[in-house]
A and B are shown apart, each in its own frame.
Chain A
């Protein structure tokens, strides 16, 4: 990765709003805003609407005759399940079943798929696809051609509708629209668990869209709140719940695998792991008392180590410490069972639960 962090097209807007910045996958992105903070920003998304600059997310395009069939033979989920105009959560695995990245595939048609991978993994996903692509197909990285604004929350439809954007299309679908002369794609996607939209807009047009959304009363939200929101939903974050060492079977992301497809990267290894049963699976932990779990803390059943947390935080909605953890399957622990988490030397009691920690309202 290059030494100088990349900046969003909206960097000056964030500076003007008093953002604190942090590094995300080689990008210098807003963590939280002055006058906001993670708790207020989190609450805005759960109760009203918030806007995130997620332009660090990657963008790549696969075009040419058979583009969709090619992507379908590489990535795990079954593009045959969706029609053009719809998006799908999918995984890019290696042949051992490890996860190179999780991403959203936007199906434009048989000859055109747009991909949004994670910032840090975009180059690798593009490299793998380009290497495998047959003649006649092009795989193009478009990381800095587009900005992505996520407008999320129960009031997002009302507010974007007033700006003249299309908002009535269904969950996980997308339509193109224009705003003040600029073309943009309005996707009914997001990673907060709320009804929301992701606006994919040309890099140089992003500021006008951002200004209009913020002027309409949507609170700017940083990636700190995005993390607490996604953790409450139990959504995986690559590098924590998914990685080259954590398979989708272990992460309980098997729903994003087209098991009946004849081919996708990692198929043999994942089929074998699925039929044998994974040695560990991702589960939720909710503290029974005070304290805040973080990632990489050991989980015990009695005195026996049974796993490790992958993410942990204070749940702003539930006001309790929550964590996701990879728990060994051998002890056959049930949801509701009590375990302890070693929080910097303090054994802290927690209950095994099935995520999400907060009921989603994405539709």
Chain B
């Protein structure tokens, strides 16, 4: 449940893309499983400028609320509007239809600095 072609953060987010253009961001299978049934998602609007580590929004499950953090610095260029009415898609397809936002990176090299699949796997197994 940890795709090899993505990059990851210690906050259980994934990033798709090499950084030369906008990258897609979501939460991992591990994160959605820990949260339980997701019932509400709050995401930033297009055009929002974020710094790595900033809050990107919130994901709420029936049990708890969890902050989403920007994995890299950049500008939000898209958000997944489907999640407004169907937040449970994140539980079912965390790496596909359940993506959260797309960010145009300030620094194309910032993506390569994130965890690779092996490093993230080690983190979740520790």
Q: Tell me if chain B binds chain A.
A: yes
- A: which residues have CB within 8 A of B? 20, 31-32, 37-40, 42, 224, 228, 290-292, 294, 313-314, 316, 321, 344
Which single member of A38, A224, A290 contacts B40 (CB below 8 Å)? A290
Q: Can you list 12 A-B contacts (CB < 8 A)?
A: A38-B61, A39-B37, A39-B39, A228-B62, A290-B40, A290-B84, A291-B42, A292-B40, A292-B65, A313-B62, A314-B60, A344-B58
Q: List the 10 closest A-B pairs by CB distance, nearest first.
A: A38-B62, A314-B39, A39-B37, A37-B37, A292-B60, A38-B37, A292-B40, A224-B63, A314-B62, A37-B36
A314 touches B40 (CB 8 A): yes
A316 touches B40 (CB 8 A): no
Q: Which of B34-93 contact A (CB under 8 A)?
A: 36-37, 39-40, 42, 58, 60-63, 65, 84, 88, 91
Q: Main secondary structure on chain A at its contact with chain B? A: mixed
- B contact residues around A344 at 8 Å (CB): 58, 65
**Closest CB in chain A relative to B35 CB, distance in Å:** 10
Q: How far is the CA of A67 from the CA of B37 in the complex (A)?
A: 46
Known: A38-B62, A224-B62. A291 touches B40 (CB 8 A): yes
- B contact residues around A316 at 8 Å (CB): 39, 62
Q: How far is the CA of A39 from the CA of B35 in the complex (A)?
A: 13
- B contact residues around A294 at 8 Å (CB): 65
- A contact residues around B60 at 8 Å (CB): 292, 314
- B contact residues around A292 at 8 Å (CB): 39-40, 60, 65
Known: A37-B62, A291-B40, A314-B62. 13 other contacts (CB 8 A): A20-B36, A37-B91, A38-B63, A40-B37, A42-B62, A290-B40, A290-B84, A292-B39, A292-B40, A294-B65, A321-B40, A344-B58, A344-B65
